[in-house]
Amino acid sequence: MNPVDEPSGLRRRHVLRLGALAGAAAGLSGCGRGFGGRSDDDGRTALTMAWWGDAQRAGFTQQALDAFQAANPGLRVRTEYQDSSPYKDKLAARVAAGDAPDLMAMRFDSLREYADRGTLLDLAPHTADLDLSGLTPQATALGQAGDKIFGIPSGLNTIGFVVDKTLTDEYGVPVPDGDTWSWEQFGTFAAAVTKASGGKVYGANFELWTTANLLVFARQHGDDFFSPQGDLDVRAATVVAWFQLAEDLRARGAIPPAGFIDQNNGASPAQSYLAKKSIASQIIPTNNLLGYNQACGGNLQLLRIPGETHGARRGQSIDTPALWSIAAGSRHPQETLKLLNFLTNQAEPAKLCAATRGVPPNRVIAAQIAPTLEADNRRSSDFLAKLQDETLPPSYPYPVGASKLTNILKSISTEVEFTRTTPAEAGQQFLAQARKALTT
């Protein structure tokens, strides 16, 4: 062979081989992609379902799905779950990639982000397959945008103040009446716990950086926080009062000193300051009462948010920890509707889901299963049922951009906590940044 010819001959061969190798590499990597096939080998139609939560919720969910599959032999549900924060990020990427789960858990503050961009199925025309007659208008409104419905509450909840009765008894501090207590009484109570324990236990963990808490406070001051049109509807004076309240509570020793509570500690009851017995009370979503009570030794009392009978109007509302939404691009909308209808309107899954997802949105089912619930779930269920019979402000999905408020509020709250800004300045900052977040 002529040595001069060799390089060019080799080069072509090399290039061809490179191409083949690259192709093989692409093929191999291709195998690892995606979340598995859509149709099973056994001919059953496979639905995908994604949600957030922990292993306990996973167990209950799987039991409910087993019951669904037993009743519908032609269907199979592939489910996956994660912790709430990674779930939120992953869902955005999945939907963007055109790989949305057929049925997905949707955050109350993100529903409009997805719905307004056309990624969710409007459920309103499908009431023949998805029976919504058992839901109160207030419950349906939680997933409603105009006359369209983009989500069904997976359960109903609200926020409540839990007090560790074991600690308050130990230090001899009486727990105020939870239906009528004021913010002032709350402060006095919490400061008394701190004092009686000699600083070993602080009266409360006051999460001023949680939007849902501020929202209730704003309503008590006569504001909507979010208007039905989706604007920010809260006065500067209200937000300033919120930050001022926290500063006063800290000055009285009712809540721990700056830096004691790590905002980013995570939401697991077992890791909470309440479970560590370093605080005696805090606000929780009521559907988590069982989890918190187990983690705290079983003597938690559930109270309403302070100030409900003292403000311009009621602040608490009936909300949902998560909505169920169906992907607009679902290849099996009929089957997914069937699954959603099953979860919403059957007693068995409702009973299983009620354990961690809140009170079933279908009031008939809720009343039917109430006597069978565990004591803690029975308590949170009764707590909610009582509130449902009262006239409360309506609750509706947060506007587009609202999920950005979480980090804004966290950041400004920290500035107030470490007295790097005054409540008055913080209020103005929050309004300016929140308005910008909602409009851009």
Partner 1 sequence: MTALRARRQDNAGYLFLLPWFGGILFTVGPFLASLYLAFTDYDLLTPPRWAGLANFRAMLDDGRLHQSLQVTFTYTLVSVPLSLAVALGVAMLLDRGVRGLAIYRSIYYLPSLLGGSVAIVMLWRYIFGYQGIVNDFLAWFGIQGPGWNSDPRFALSTLILLHVWTFGAPMVIFLAGLRQIPAMYYEAAAMDGASPWRQFRSITLPLLSPIIFFNLVQSLIASFQTFTQGYVISNGTGGPAESTLFYNLYLYQKGFAEFDMGYASSMAWLLLIIIAGFTAINFLAARYWVFYDN
Is residue 414 at the binding interface for partner 1, with CB under 8 A as the rule? yes
Interface mask toward partner 1 for 102-141; x: CB under 8 A: -----------xx--xxx----------------------
Q: How far is the CB of 163 from partner 1 (least distance, A)?
A: 21
Which phi and psi angles does 372 have, rounded to 5°? -90, -5
Question: CB of residue 130 vs partner 1: minimum separation in angstroms?
Answer: 23
Work out whether 410 is an interface residue with partner 1 (CB under 8 A): yes
Instruction: Assess 15 for contact with partner 1 (CB under 8 A).
Output: no
Structural tokens at position 342: 């099953």
75-82/232-233 β-pairing: unpaired
The reply to whether 278 sits near partner 1 by the rule CB under 8 A is yes
Stretch that binds partner 1, among 37-45, 91-99, 134-142, 245-253 (CB under 8 A): 91-99
Residue 310 touching partner 1 (CB under 8 A): no
Does 418 help bind partner 1 (rule: CB under 8 A)?
A: yes
| 37 near partner 1 (CB under 8 A) | no
Applying CB under 8 A, does 258 fall inside the site for partner 1?
A: yes
- Where would I find the H helices in 370-422? 375-388, 405-417
Q: Which of 63-71, 84-92, 125-133, 144-152 is the region at the interface with partner 1 (rule: CB under 8 A)?
A: 84-92
Query: Residue 78 or 404: which CB sits closer to partner 1?
Result: 404
Cβ distance 403 to 367 under 8 Å? no
What is the number of other CB atoms lying within 10 angstroms of the CB of residue 192?
A: 20
Diameter over CA atoms, the chain: 101
Strands 148-149 and 144-145: antiparallel
Q: Applying CB under 8 A, which part among 24-32, 189-197, 335-343, 349-357 lies near partner 1?
A: 24-32
Using rule CB under 8 A, residue 29 touches partner 1: yes
277 counts as binding partner 1 under rule CB under 8 A: no
> Contact with partner 1 (CB under 8 A): which of 198, 259, 371, 391?
259
Determine the size of the site formed for partner 1 (CB under 8 A).
43
Q: Does 95 bind partner 1 (CB under 8 A)?
A: yes
Q: Closest CB to partner 1 among 200 and 386?
A: 200
Rule CB under 8 A: say whether 16 interacts with partner 1. no
Q: Regarding beta strands 225-226 and 148-149, do their DSSP bridges make them parallel or antiparallel, or are they unpaired? A: unpaired
Say whether residue 270 binds partner 1 (CB under 8 A).
no
Among 403, 423, 430, 434, binds partner 1 (CB under 8 A): 403
Tokens of 228: 């039905």
Q: Which stretch binds partner 1 (CB under 8 A): 73-81, 158-166, 234-242, 401-409?
A: 401-409
Burial class (CB within 10 angstroms; exposed 0-12, middle 13-18, buried 19+) of 388: middle
Does position 432 bind partner 1 by CB under 8 A? no
**CA R_g for the chain:** 26
| CA distances, 235 to each of 183, 221, 222, 223 (Å) | 19, 9, 9, 7
Closest to partner 1 by CB, 391 vs 440, is: 440
**C-alpha to C-alpha distance for 408 and 199, rounded to whole angstroms:** 31
CA nearest neighbour of 328 among 101, 145, 86, 56: 101
DSSP letter string, 171-237: TT-PPPPTTT--HHHHHHHHHHHHHHTTTSSBS-B--TT-HHHHHHHHHHTT--EE-TTS-EE--HH
Considering only 96, 237, 251, 270, the residue that binds partner 1 (CB under 8 A) is 96
The b-or-e profile of 309-339 (16+ CB within 10 A means b, else e) is: eebeebbbbbbbbbbbbbbbebebbebbbbb
Task: Calculate the dihedral angle through the C-alpha atoms of 246, 248, 250, 253, rounding to the nearest 10 degrees.
Answer: -140
Site for partner 1 in 214-243 (CB under 8 A): none
92 or 312: CB nearest partner 1: 92
Position 93 contacts partner 1 (CB under 8 A):
yes
Residues 313-342 that bind partner 1 (CB under 8 A): none
Of how many residues is the chain composed? 440
At CA 255, angle to CA 254 and CA 260, rounded to 5?
Answer: 150
Binding site for partner 1 (CB under 8 A): 1, 14, 17-18, 21-22, 24-26, 28-29, 85, 88-89, 92-93, 95-96, 113-114, 117-119, 256, 258-266, 278, 403-404, 407, 410-411, 414-415, 418, 420
